[in-house]
Amino acid sequence: MRVIGLLGLGVIGRALAENLARQGCRVRGFDPSPEARARASAEGIKVSADLADLVQGLAPPRAVLLLVPAGRDVDAAIEALLPGLTAGDLVVDCGNSHWRDTERRSAAMAGRGLGYLGVGISGGEAGARDGPAIMAGGSAEGWTRVGPLLTAAAARFDDEPCCAWLGPGGAGHFTKMVHNGIEYAVMQLIAETFDLAVHGLGLEHDEAADLFERFGHGALGSYLIDITAEVLRLVDEPSGEPFVELINDAAEQKGTGNWASVEALEQGVPATLLMEAVAARSLSARKAAREALRREPEPGPAKGEVHAADLEAALLAGTLVAYAQGFELLATAGATHGWPLDLARVARLWRAGCIIRAKLLSPIAKALERLPEGVPLLADALLAERLEAALPGLRAALLAAAERGVPTPCLAAALAWLDAHRVARLPTRLIQAQRDHFGRHGFARIDRPGRHHLPRAEEAGP
């Protein structure tokens, strides 16, 4: 196999190099940081002294993987590579780039006769080393060159690699962005469920860990549930405190969840859990506002009883809605951008290697295989049946939360989203009336075609 170039030898870069070497690939790496180079060298990675040496050490047509932070670093890396590249070479951005940047770079590279791929890789350091989920987009020809190697390096589920080329341009990075949006929502749902386990069920941390461990054996089984149980069991050695209680609750974020929410707004997709999850992190970090509005919790009336099974049902319903919103965003964006996104393939490749890997993705993948295009995920009979069974638990959990003052933005958004789809008529008809009243915007009627206006008030009222 040819030598492949790897620009960026940080934690993920080195882990991926180790993985690629295991697939029999000869990797040659470079990083502007001498420390990163030394560390990679010590781990047995062949390291170039400078970028020119890296590029010259590769025989054309070259393939260079980028593992550098998203944003200007990627543009700088491409700029630095360009003088050494020749027509037919391929650059593969394996970072968390914004899909619009990937579209722009892809077009610019094509104009120079160079191939470009934007590849989303999920699974963190362990995934990169042992088998991540890989969402590729960009030059189909380029994919024929590095696809087999990345496929070999990816996680597998039921012998199917968790790796696919999903479309041209930014299709891969878009899909990874939606993956991260779902990840934000599911993490927030788990956090809310933990809060309810403490303040609704009165559990101690080890009991909450047991609860999530039990959830992990059921339909909710997933990597994020597993690590939740693990994290809740951690104890701070010197103090003996549950470790999670010592962590500052100002949640941080790197932007992909935000991008997914902005994208949902721009596509007109009501991906409310993705947005609420991003907002919940932002709110948690605005400490001054929180301090100014803090109150002692009110004593909750006792009537809103809640049980462990309700919390499990609530988390299941919420997680199903989070996935449904993510796939709705993918479907809509795929249509808008003309990407041939195979949603069932996306669901299958998320079954292993990535952060949101979960048992639920198997029935979700099957549903997406069965459903005609344009039909929402939760219209699938099997998923609808599970959801129906979980709905009373979601309602009970929200009643308990509202009475006790436990903030549950994502669980509440899930119920609102579901109920808004369930009812035959929404009160938005009143909004249409108001808009016509103050802005003469007009509206459609249900009983005849055309645009209409309100009757003048003085003619209509008594």
Of 132 and 138, CB closest to a second copy: 132
Least distance in angstroms from the C-beta of 341 to a second copy: 17
Side-by-side strand order, sheet with 90-93: 46-47, 26-30, 3-7, 63-66, 90-93, 115-122, 133-138, 163-165
Of 81 and 311, CB closest to a second copy: 311
Of 142 and 257, CB closest to a second copy: 257
| 57 burial type by CB count under 10 A (0-12 exposed, 13-18 middle, 19+ buried) | middle
79 an active-site residue? no
Which is catalytic among the residues 103, 183, 328, 403?
183
Of 59 and 293, CB closest to a second copy: 293
141 an active-site residue? no
Whole-number Cα distances in Å, 323 to 244, 308, 381: 27, 23, 16
Cα–Cα distance measured from residue 177 to residue 66, given in angstroms and rounded to the nearest whole number: 18
Cα-based torsion angle of the residue sequence 432, 435, 439, 442 in order, rounded to the nearest 10 degrees: 0
In 3-state terms, what secondary structure has residue 66?
strand
Cα–Cα distance measured from residue 366 to residue 341, given in angstroms and rounded to the nearest whole number: 16
Least distance in angstroms from the C-beta of 245 to a second copy: 7
Which is catalytic among the residues 18, 176, 312, 328?
176
Least distance in angstroms from the C-beta of 329 to a second copy: 11
As beta bridge partners, residue 26 has: 3
Cα–Cα distance measured from residue 405 to residue 364, given in angstroms and rounded to the nearest whole number: 33
Of 235 and 309, CB closest to a second copy: 235
Say if residue 270 is preceded by a cis peptide, omega within 30 of 0.
no
CB atoms within 10 A of CB 33: 12
Q: Tokens at residue 424, please?
A: 């035959």
Least distance in angstroms from the C-beta of 233 to a second copy: 5
Least distance in angstroms from the C-beta of 145 to a second copy: 29
* Residues with active-site annotation: 176, 183
